[in-house]
């Protein structure tokens, strides 16, 4: 019995011991989970590191005159490391002696919380030793500059614990001007326009940073483990901000008046093919307009604007001349059971020149059908030589491929297709493609490739320059081009454009177009018409070619190309004639680079600046005047040419120096603005005339 009791006592004692030990373990686990969980989780997080990408600063898109069209502005996410040794040194003396005044400053700057609320939150974060406390996100550069001077923050990162994480915000300084063509960069969203086409050029190369995870999964940078990103390059376009604004306003005015559904307008420089403006507008359900799509690159049945191509083929193959007569049966022609009609009753017989001016569907369809039915491949070859069977190749990814039936392979080819082609149906072309043809006629037969990119620059240095490209040195015989030019002029004198251009101070050549719309959304029977006008001016020395295309609302009272699209052309041309073509000299603006600072002055003064700021400066060149670029604390000088016989380039100089240089050359100087010289009314290198007046533009 005694042995049995002894054994039971030992068993009970062991069981009690194990039970107490288990209770202690559970109690410790509960205490750790409830009261020390956040501490140990943060300790666990701190053992994890990760390498993350650092986004490069995206390059800027500029207009041809140096105006920013799309740029990146810095934004800052502000954090505080309340575990920083410098902040907690001497029992947190730096923190507690500044927290009151800091809270007042933060409340005044951000205006989102009271000073007392800021003070309570900061003290609580300090007490909890929060390692990456999010103070404020999306702080602007101006706010950041002010924040850096606040109490505690001005002590520096080590003593204040303040950390600024730099991010960038993409901004279009001109708002929605040219929005669809320029595009808008948004993270995790599909890019459009130039932002998409030149994404690889603009975005640069990402950097790398080693981060450590702290409480709450927040990432904290590890000092000394970072590879700086390489910023993107700047893109300089052919666009002109003023012309773009003129174009959009003119298009908006007509579309609003007519309650049109959508419209586009393109302005091209005749001699080079440079695109100076592209406007695109769509009507919303609320009746407002915005740039939803790039209609300049979308294809549609062009209607009568293609009659230039029809006439070109007949003239080039010497089937007719513009003085020949053609029978149009009063404007109504029965073709194997199909009736082709003109918009208005006409004579029985008319000259080809007048039939073009009056936009006769019968005349143009008869030319195409009569001369090419037996050899449709020959007509197709003309379309191909005019680059109407392929994309233009402009630097925008949204361009549609034209739909042109090939008589050799087209499944739906029909002999009457030629008759339809003659006045703009059964063929899908974009406004840009048609403008390219009109521009070639304006350019005496030389077809230029339309383009938007002028050059690419890296830190102010040109690394890629685009020159005008000739697609076809001569699209047709000189006699053909001359006859086409005469017909286009006649449209604006006696034809469908006469009411718009009769009193113009300059001569215009162009063609109206009106077409029924059948685009999948609308059928021919829905009464939706597309109005168009394509042409160039001034006739004697063409500078710009323009196309306007407007899709009207169903059953619109006003839908003709001559009354809807032609007035848009006229308004744009009036402004361009007044503000760009009627000026003696264009304003010369500087090459702007977002990463480079430039200035100018006398050599000795620049040397003194370099020595004062400990910038590298090596200059063994002769002469007293310099223009200087500052890059990476190194002064890069160039000799300022001050030849007495020519106008010097004083851009970058201060006003005092510019006045000294120009007045010594015998010039009278007028000044606009304040700051450095950013432009001059007479181009550098122009011969000097004594007493000549020059305007300086300062900024």
- Judge whether 363 and 326 are in contact, CB under 8 Å: yes
- The tens digit of pLDDT for each residue in 504-534 reads 889 999 999 999 999 888 999 999 999 999 9
- Judge whether 699 and 675 are in contact, CB under 8 Å: yes
Does the pLDDT of residue 479 top 80, yes or no?
Answer: yes
Closest CA to 350 of 647, 340, 342, 484: 342
Q: Could you give the CA distance from residue 522 to residue 300 in angstroms, rounded to a whole number?
A: 12
pLDDT at 236: 93
pLDDT at 258: 94
Closest CA to 70 of 186, 189, 230: 186
Which residue's structure tokens are 């790398």?
A: 208
Average pLDDT over residues 5-22: 73
Two tokens at 279?
A: 């406007």
Could you tell me the maximum CA-CA distance found in the chain, to the nearest angstrom? 141
pLDDT at 537: 96
- Judge whether 448 and 470 are in contact, CB under 8 Å: yes
Cα dihedral 86, 89, 93, 95, rounded to 10, equals: 40
Mean pLDDT of the chain: 84
Q: Could you give the CA distance from residue 109 to residue 153 in angstroms, rounded to a whole number?
A: 14
How far are the Cα atoms of 173, 190, 243, 348 from residue 197, in angstroms, in the given order? 20, 12, 22, 53
- Judge whether 66 and 590 are in contact, CB under 8 Å: yes
Helix 431-442 and helix 478-493, axial crossing angle in degrees, nearest 10 = 110
Does the pLDDT of residue 220 top 70, yes or no?
Answer: no
pLDDT at 449: 97
pLDDT at 510: 97
Mean pLDDT lowest for which of 376-380, 423-427, 600-604? 600-604
Rg (CA), the chain: 36
Residues β-bridged to residue 62: 68, 236
Q: Could you give the CA distance from residue 290 to residue 176 in angstroms, rounded to a whole number?
A: 8
pLDDT at 589: 44
- Judge whether 457 and 236 are in contact, CB under 8 Å: yes
pLDDT at 532: 97
Q: Could you give the CA distance from residue 97 to residue 88 in angstroms, rounded to a whole number?
A: 12
Average pLDDT over residues 644-665: 76
- The tens digit of pLDDT for each residue in 237-278 reads 999 988 999 999 999 999 999 999 999 999 999 999 999 999
pLDDT at 665: 75
Does the pLDDT of residue 679 top 70, yes or no?
Answer: yes
Question: Between 187 and 306, where is the model more confident?
Answer: 306
- Judge whether 404 and 390 are in contact, CB under 8 Å: no
Name the 3-class secondary structure at 45: helix
Cβ count near 271 (within 10 Å): 16
Residues β-bridged to residue 466: none
Taking the model in full, what pTM does it have? 0.72
Average pLDDT over residues 372-392: 95
- Judge whether 330 and 348 are in contact, CB under 8 Å: yes
Contacts of 433 (CB under 8 A, 6+ apart): 387, 388, 392, 402
Q: Could you give the CA distance from residue 79 to residue 241 in angstroms, rounded to a whole number?
A: 40
Cβ count near 582 (within 10 Å): 10
Average pLDDT over residues 292-299: 91
Query: What is the β-pairing status of strands 68-80 and 162-171?
Result: antiparallel
- Predicted confidence band at 585 (pLDDT cuts at 50, 70, 90)? very low
Does the pLDDT of residue 378 top 70, yes or no?
Answer: yes
Among left, alpha and beta (phi > 0; psi -120 to 50; other), residue 387 is left
pLDDT at 43: 56
- The tens digit of pLDDT for each residue in 40-81 reads 555 555 556 777 666 777 888 888 888 888 877 778 889 988
Average pLDDT over residues 331-343: 90
What would the DSSP string read from start to end of 442-488?
HTTTPEEPPB-EEEEEETTEEEEEPPP-EEES-SS-HHHHHHHHHHH
How far are the Cα atoms of 271, 447, 485 from residue 541, in angstroms, in the given order? 10, 16, 12
Two tokens at 511?
A: 């063609």
- Judge whether 537 and 544 are in contact, CB under 8 Å: yes
Does the pLDDT of residue 133 top 80, yes or no?
Answer: yes
Q: Which of 221-230, 302-311, 460-469 has the highest mean pLDDT?
A: 302-311
pLDDT at 652: 76
Does the pLDDT of residue 134 top 60, yes or no?
Answer: yes
Q: Could you give the CA distance from residue 217 to residue 213 in angstroms, rounded to a whole number?
A: 6
Question: Between 232 and 217, where is the model more confident?
Answer: 232
pLDDT at 180: 77
| Percent share of the chain, pLDDT over 90 | 45
496-522 burial code (b ≥16 CB/10 A, e <16): bbeebbeeeebebbbbbbbbbbeeeeb
**Alpha-carbon dihedral sign for residues 671, 672, 673, 676:** negative
Q: Could you give the CA distance from residue 570 to residue 298 in angstroms, rounded to a whole number?
A: 24
Q: Could you give the CA distance from residue 582 to residue 459 in angstroms, rounded to a whole number?
A: 35
Name the 3-class secondary structure at 568: helix
């Amino acid at each position: 019995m005694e042995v049995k009791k002894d054994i039971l006592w030992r068993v009970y004692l062991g069981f009690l011991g194990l039970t107490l030990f288990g209770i202690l373990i559970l109690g410790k686990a509960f205490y750790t989970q409830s009261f020390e969980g956040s501490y140990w989780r943060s300790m666990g997080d701190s053992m994890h590191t990760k390498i993350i990408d650092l986004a490069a600063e995206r390059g800027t898109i500029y207009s041809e005159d140096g105006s920013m069209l799309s740029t990146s502005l810095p934004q800052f996410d502000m954090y505080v490391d309340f575990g920083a040794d410098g902040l907690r040194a001497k029992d947190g003396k730096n923190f507690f002696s500044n927290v009151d005044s800091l809270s007042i400053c933060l409340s005044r700057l951000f205006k989102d919380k009271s000073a007392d609320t800021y003070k309570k939150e900061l003290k609580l974060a300090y007490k909890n030793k929060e390692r990456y406390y999010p103070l404020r996100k999306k702080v602007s550069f101006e706010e950041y500059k002010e924040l850096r001077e606040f109490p505690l923050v001005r002590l520096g990162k080590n003593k204040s614990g303040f950390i600024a994480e730099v991010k960038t915000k993409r901004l279009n300084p001109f708002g929605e001007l040219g929005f669809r063509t320029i595009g808008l960069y948004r993270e995790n969203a599909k890019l459009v326009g130039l932002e998409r086409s030149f994404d690889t050029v603009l975005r640069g190369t990402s950097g790398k940073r080693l981060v450590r995870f702290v409480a709450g999964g927040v990432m904290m940078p590890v000092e000394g483990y970072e590879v700086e990103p390489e910023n993107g390059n700047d893109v300089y376009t052919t666009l002109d901000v003023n012309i773009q604004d003129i174009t959009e306003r003119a298009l908006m005015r007509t579309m609003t008046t007519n309650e049109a559904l959508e419209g586009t307008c393109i302005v091209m420089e005749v001699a080079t093919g440079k695109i100076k403006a592209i406007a695109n507008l769509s009507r919303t359900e609320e009746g407002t307009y915005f740039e939803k799509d790039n209609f300049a690159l979308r294809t549609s049945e062009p209607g009568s604007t293609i009659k230039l191509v029809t006439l070109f083929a007949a003239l080039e193959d010497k089937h007719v001349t513009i003085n020949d007569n053609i029978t149009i049966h009063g404007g109504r022609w029965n073709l194997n059971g199909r009736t082709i009609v003109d918009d208005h009753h006409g004579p029985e017989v008319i000259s080809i020149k007048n039939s073009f001016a009056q936009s006769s569907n019968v005349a143009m369809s008869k030319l195409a059908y009569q001369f090419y039915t037996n050899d449709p491949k020959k007509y197709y070859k003309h379309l191909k030589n005019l680059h109407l069977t392929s994309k233009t190749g402009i630097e925008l990814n949204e361009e549609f491929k034209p739909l042109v039936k090939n008589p050799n392979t087209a499944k739906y080819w029909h002999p009457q297709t030629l008759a339809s082609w003659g006045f703009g149906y059964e063929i899908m072309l974009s406004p840009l493609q048609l403008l390219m043809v009109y521009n070639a006629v304006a350019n005496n037969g030389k077809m230029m490739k339309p383009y938007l990119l002028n050059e690419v620059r890296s830190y102010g240095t040109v690394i890629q320059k685009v020159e005008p490209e000739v697609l076809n040195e001569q699209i047709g015989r000189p006699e053909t081009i001359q006859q086409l030019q005469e017909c286009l002029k006649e449209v604006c004198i006696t034809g469908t454009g006469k009411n718009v251009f009769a009193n113009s101070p300059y001569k215009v050549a162009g063609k109206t177009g009106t077409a029924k719309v059948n685009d999948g959304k609308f059928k021919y029977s829905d009464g939706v018409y597309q109005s168009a006008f394509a042409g160039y001016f001034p006739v004697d020395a063409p500078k710009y070619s323009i196309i306007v295309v407007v899709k009207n609302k169903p059953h619109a009272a006003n839908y003709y190309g001559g009354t809807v699209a032609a007035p848009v052309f006229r308004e744009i041309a009036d402004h361009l004639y007044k503000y760009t073509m009627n000026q003696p000299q264009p304003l010369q603006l500087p090459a702007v680079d977002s990463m480079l600072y430039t200035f100018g002055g006398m050599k000795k003064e620049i040397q003194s600046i370099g020595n004062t700021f400990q910038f590298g400066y090596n200059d063994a060149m002769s002469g007293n005047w310099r223009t200087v670029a500052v890059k990476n604390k190194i002064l890069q000088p160039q000799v300022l040419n001050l030849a007495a016989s020519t106008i010097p380039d004083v851009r970058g100089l201060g006003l005092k120096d510019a006045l000294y240089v120009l007045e010594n050359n015998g010039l009278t100087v007028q000044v606009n603005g304040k700051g450095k010289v950013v432009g001059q009314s007479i181009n550098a290198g122009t011969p000097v005339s004594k007493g000549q007046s020059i305007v300086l533009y300062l900024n």
